[in-house]
Structure 1
Amino acid sequence: MEKLRIAVRKFDPFESTLQKLWDAFCLKHNIEIEAEMIPYELHNLYVETIAKKGLQNGDWDIAHLNTDWIFDAANEKAVLDLTSLISQNPPENYPEGWHNSLLHLQQLNNGTFGLPFHDGPECLIYRKDLFENPVEKENFRKQFGSELSPPKTWEEFTNIAAFFNRPDENFYGVVFANYPDGHNMVFDFCLQLWTRGGSLLNEKNQIDIDHNEAVLALNFYRNIVNNTAVVHPKSKKFGSVEAGMAFAEGQAAMAVNWFGFASMCEVIEESKVKGKVDIAALPHDQNHKTASLNVYWLYTIGSGSKHKQLAYDFLRFATSTESDKLLTTEGGIGCRKSTWKDPEINTLIPYYHKLEMLHENSLTLPQTPIWPKVAELIDQMVLKAIETDVTSEKLLKETQINIQKLQ
């Protein structure tokens, strides 16, 4: 029996939504073909779909790919250019239904290589109930001589994390995702760099991280993640999903993570913090402004798929207004403006409308075929910074030499 095969990013809301959408799609269009959905962790998903050429050779009809990989996938001709399918039969309200920041990363070589389905830029997630608690506010004022409110600077962030760190209650100031998977620590480094006015690119548009802002970024980050007086002790073992779960289970006052992990707190059964969470823009260096990072997930179709039309019909169905809203109530992040403004969604997740604000401040990673290799080098550099005493200057210089070899 032939099956439509879908490579899925392992995450409960993605898995449950996809199953519900496929069942509804089959019912609506009287389709009998089965879908085989296989969930993978980040690294394995990349290996199965792109590195092992699974999308090219027909192993996968549809795959969840994030925008870090789409440049690679398009250049390898692993994913189908959807331009002609979209022009014949566009998705509902395409492209006006989405914010521009969710449409450009998949536009490459005059083609469109995916449809956005899950997003939520990086932000500060915090325990609103604690920040608004009169006793906590009074104690904070006594200790620091200032008002307890969401931190605007990284210095305030550190003070607040120290204030809320209560290991005897299994409660910590902040939870990070420090598992070295080529993503979390790379993103954290970029955010530290950008919020200090630094850039990943030099004036020649080449990747260059051997400069002063990068030193400040790496110094701050290595210090805070090793600071046992502020940080969740399991941060080094956590990927973004595990860090998000720890926050949802009520183990930390703050997190720097994707917006999706804030909204998850309102909808998943395991959450112990429903109604107690809010989000804010990320802290920044005193003399610079906030920034966010926008990496989003796409539905893509394998260039080797034998079911291209069926796959595209399903993608249209899966990115409709109704489907986008379903993903959100399941614990993912819908990408459509209609979902962001939906009154029902904003009753469920009171800060959902803030997505627009985050998108206005969001930056993206350099679109270059070498980015996955650069990300690995930065990941190793941050890991070394956390685990050794080698100076940040030396680590940045060594990493930059290796990046040069790729450029």
Structure 2
Amino acid sequence: MEKIRIAVRKFDPFESTLQKLWDLFCIKNNVQIEAEMIPLELHDIYEETITNQGLKNGKWDIAHLNTDWIFDAANEKAVLDLTSSINHNPPQDYPEGWSQSLLNLQQVNNGIYGLPFHDGPECLIFRKDLFENNIEKENFKKQLGYELNPPKTWQQFVEIATFFNRPEQNLYGCIFANYPDGHNMVFDFCLQLWTRGESLLNDQNQININNPVAIEALDFYRKIVNNKNAVHPKSKEFGSVEAGMAFAEGQAAMAINWFGFASMCEVIDESKVKGKVDITELPSDLNHKTASLNVYWLYTIGSGSKHQKLAYDFLRFATSPESDKLLTIEGGIGCRKSTWNDPEINNIIPFYHKLEMLHENALTLPQTPIWPKVTGLIDQMVLKAIESDISSEKLLEETQHMIEKLTH
């Protein structure tokens, strides 16, 4: 029997939503084909769909790809250009139903290579019940001499994390995701750089991370991550999902993670912090602006798929306002403005409307074919920084050297 094969980013809310959407789609359109959905970890999705050419050779009809990879996928001709399908039969309210910041990255060489699936920029997630507690506020003021509020600077971030670090209560100051998967440590490094006013690119638009601000950023990061008086002891084993779960289980006062993990706290059964969470912008260095990072997930269609029309019809259905809202109720993050401002959603997740604010400060990663390889190098660099005594200066110099080798 014929099947349509979908590579799904492994995460319970994604898996449950997609199954529900496929079932609804089949009933509504009288489709008899079964969908085989394979949940894959981050690294395996890239390997299966792009490295092993699964999208090109027809092994996968539809895949979740994140925007870090889409430039690569488009250049490899692994994914279908959806422009003519969109012109002929656009998704509902396309493009005005989405924020412009969710439509840019999938546009490569004048083509459109995917539709927004799941989003939620990086932000500071915090326990408002702790920050609003009068006893905590009083003690904090006594100890540190200023009012307890979500940190505006990195210095305050360290002080507040240290204040709330109470291992005997299984409560830690903050959680990082330091598992080396080419993902979170890279993003954390970028955020440290950006919130100190520096960029990943030099004036010639080439990646250059060998500068004094980068040294400062890496120095600060390796120090905070290894600060046993402020940070969850399992941070080195956590990817973003595990870090998000630990926060939802009430194990930390603050976390720097994707918006989606804040909203997850309000909807999943395992959450012990429903109604106690809020989000805000990331801290920054004293004289610099906050920043966020926008990497989002797309629905894409394999260039080798034998079911391209059916796949596109499903993508239209899966990105409708109702489907986008369903994803959010299941624990993912809808991408449409209608979902962000939906009264029912904001009733369940009171900070949901803040997505617009995060998008205003959200920066994106460089679109260059070498970026997936660069992330591997930065990941290794940050890992070495937190696990060795090699100076940040030397690590940045070596990594920059390897990045330059990729372009020659």
* TM-score, normalised via structure 2 length: 1.00
Q: CA deviation at 1:117?
A: 1.1
Q: Which residues of 2 match residues 2-17 of structure 1 at below 5 A? A: 2-17=2-17
Tell me the distance in 1 between the aligned counterparts of 2:212 and 2:158.
21
Q: Does 1:117 align with 2:117?
A: yes
Question: Aligned AA for 2:15?
Answer: E
How far apart, CA to CA, are the structure 2 residues paired with 1:304 and 1:293? Answer: 32
Q: What SS class does the counterpart of residue 200 from structure 1 fall into?
A: coil
- Deviation string 1:134-181 (CA, Å, 9 cap, x unpaired) is 000001011101100000000000000000000011110000000000
- Could you tell me which residue of structure 2 aligns to residue 239 of structure 1? 239
Measure the CA separation in 2 of the matches of 1:4 and 1:241. Answer: 27
Q: Which amino acid aligns with 1:308?
A: Q
Q: Across the two proteins, how many residue pairs are aligned to each other?
A: 407
Amino acid aligned to 2:129: D
User: Gaps (5+ residues) in structure 2?
Assistant: none
Does 2:322 align with 1:306?
no
1:21-71 residue CA offsets vs partner (Å, 9 max, x unmatched) = 000000001111000000000001100000000000000000000000000
Whole-angstrom distance in 2 between the partners of 1:286 and 1:367: 29
The offset of 1:265, in angstroms, is 0.3
**Aligned match of 1:293:** 293
2:22 maps to 22
Report deviation, 1:314.
Answer: 0.2
1-structure distance, mates of 2:168, 2:41:
32
Query: Displacement of 1:86 after TM fit?
Result: 0.5
SS of corresponding position for 1:404 = helix
Alignment-derived partner of residue 72 in structure 1: 72
The yes-or-no answer on 1:229 pairing with 2:226 is no
Matches within 5 A, 1:364-375: 364-375=364-375
State the SS of the aligned residue for 2:314: helix
Matches within 5 A, 1:382-393: 382-393=382-393
- CA–CA separation in structure 2 for the residues paired with 1:353 and 1:216: 34
Aligned counterparts of 2:87 and 2:164: Cα–Cα separation in 1: 53
Deviation, 1:389, is 0.3
In the TM superposition, residue 239 of structure 1 has moved relative to its aligned partner by 0.2
Listed one character per residue, the Cα deviations across residues 48-103 of structure 1 (whole Å, up to 9, x for unaligned) are: 00000000000000000000000000000000000000011000000000000000
Q: In structure 2, how many angstroms separate the alpha carbons of the residues matched to 1:160 and 1:344?
A: 33
RMSD of aligned Cα (Å): 0.4
> How big is the shift at 1:355?
0.2
1:216 and 1:24 map into 2 onto residues whose CA distance is 52
SS at match of 1:210: coil
- Residue of structure 1 equivalent to 2:144: 144
Matched to 1:182, the amino acid is: G
What aligned pairs does 1:387-402 form with structure 2 within 5 A after superposition? 387-402=387-402
- Read off the aligned partner of 1:299 and give its amino acid letter: Y
Q: Quote the residue 2:178 is aligned against.
A: 178
Structure 2 CA distance, aligned partners of 1:404 and 1:52? Answer: 26
Instruction: Look up the equivalent residue of 2:350 and give its one-letter code.
Output: P
> Where do residues 216-365 of structure 1 align in structure 2 (5 Å cutoff)?
216-365=216-365
The runs of at least 4 aligned residues of structure 1 exceeding 6 Å deviation read: none
Q: Percent of aligned pairs with the same residue?
A: 79
Q: Distance between the aligned counterparts of 1:17 and 1:296, measured in 2?
A: 17
Alignment of 1:45-124 (within 5 A): 45-124=45-124
Q: Distance in 2 between matches of 1:167 and 1:121?
A: 29
Q: Equivalent residue of 2:178, what SS?
A: coil
Distance 1:301 1:43 in 2: 19
SS at match of 2:181: coil
Counterpart residue type for residue 55 of structure 1: L
Return the alpha-carbon distance in structure 1 between the equivalents of residues 374 and 117 of structure 2.
Answer: 26
SS in 2 for 1:105: coil
Q: Deviations over 1:239-265 (max 9, x none)?
A: 000000000000000000000000000
Structure 2 Cα separation of the partners of residues 245 and 403 of structure 1: 34
Task: Give, as a single letter, the amino acid of the residue that structure 1 aligns with 2:7.
Answer: A
The one-letter amino acid paired with 1:297 is: W
SS at match of 1:359: helix
Distance in 1 separating the partners of 2:106 and 2:30: 31
Partner Cα separation in structure 2 for residue 228 and residue 160 of structure 1: 14
Amino acid at match of 1:259: F
| Distance in 1 separating the partners of 2:217 and 2:199 | 11
Structure 1, gaps ≥5 residues long: none
Superposed, 1:145-224 pairs within 5 Å as 145-224=145-224
Q: Distance in 2 between matches of 1:88 and 1:306?
A: 20
One-letter code aligned to 1:171? L
Once residues 343 and 170 of structure 1 are traced to their aligned partners in structure 2, the CA distance between those partners, rounded to angstroms, is 35
Quick one: which amino acid aligns to residue 105 of structure 2?
L
